[in-house]
Amino acid sequence: MLRKRPSKGPRPKVLLFDLGGVIVRWVGINALADLSGSTPNAVKAALGQSKIFHQFERGYGSPQMFLRELIREFELDVSETQMKEMWNNWVQQPYEGIADRLLNLRVNFTTACLSNTNNLHWEHLNTYLSCDDLFDHIYASHLIHTAKPDPDCYEFVCKDLGVEPSDIWFFDDTNENVLAAQKLGMTALKVDPKLGVIPLLDKFGLD
């Protein structure tokens, strides 16, 4: 069961956000399922077992190698150029009002993002919004060479920020990532990717 905010107690020192499905819209799983004639669950399983995918989101391997292997693994009839364009376009616009909300949150909280991403998506995402301007700290998996839900990913963030896990409220749209953060001692909240994080921020009076 996913942990809810305690009814009483101190407010968090740090607000930590995933990006896809939380700050920006992400449609990659469903899009890749449609493209490959598979199902979303099958795509998730295949990516979970893909060595090149895990390497790429941890900052290893070239984009060309990744795109080539993605095409091969999913048996897609597209060129590398087409695959790159589709891959990037699966990262979509930010949820309405989120940029202003993140700027306001920085007045009262330390804010950070913790995202499983890669250099292709990172470059594309930052054409929609500037993570450097919106967050006090940035933890992108391909830059810190570790990814959720590995415990060392969350531990890296705590150590770098100089805080305890209990000081952090973490927002993510994936159950596995939320549960891993809770196990470490964070207050972790599941975001509905159809809505983004703003409804949860409103619910708990975080502004």
Q: Are 127 and 133 in contact (CB under 8 A)?
A: no
Among the ranges given (4-8, 136-140, 145-149, 198-202), the one the predictor scored with the smallest mean pLDDT: 4-8
Tens digit of pLDDT for each residue in 172-189?
A: 999 999 999 999 999 999
Q: List the domain boundaries for the chain.
A: 14-26+92-203, 28-89
The structure's pTM equals 0.92
pLDDT for res 9? 55
Q: How far is CA 184 from the centre of its chain?
A: 18
Q: Among the CATH numbers 3.40.50.300, 1.10.10.10, 3.20.20.70, 1.10.150.240, which is that of 28-89? A: 1.10.150.240
43: Cα within 13 Å, side-chain hemisphere: 19
pLDDT for res 11? 83
Tens digit of pLDDT for each residue in 19-63?
A: 999 999 999 899 999 999 999 999 989 998 999 999 999 999 999
- The answer for residues whose C-beta is within 8 angstroms of residue 73's C-beta and 6 or more apart is 46, 50, 52
Average pLDDT over the chain, rounded to whole? 93
- β-sheet bridge partners, residue 137: 112
Q: Are 148 and 114 in contact (CB under 8 A)?
A: yes
Tens digit of pLDDT for each residue in 110-149?
A: 999 999 999 999 999 999 999 999 999 999 999 999 999 9
| Superfamily of 14-26+92-203 according to CATH | HAD superfamily/HAD-like (3.40.50.1000)
- The answer for residues whose C-beta is within 8 angstroms of residue 107's C-beta and 6 or more apart is none
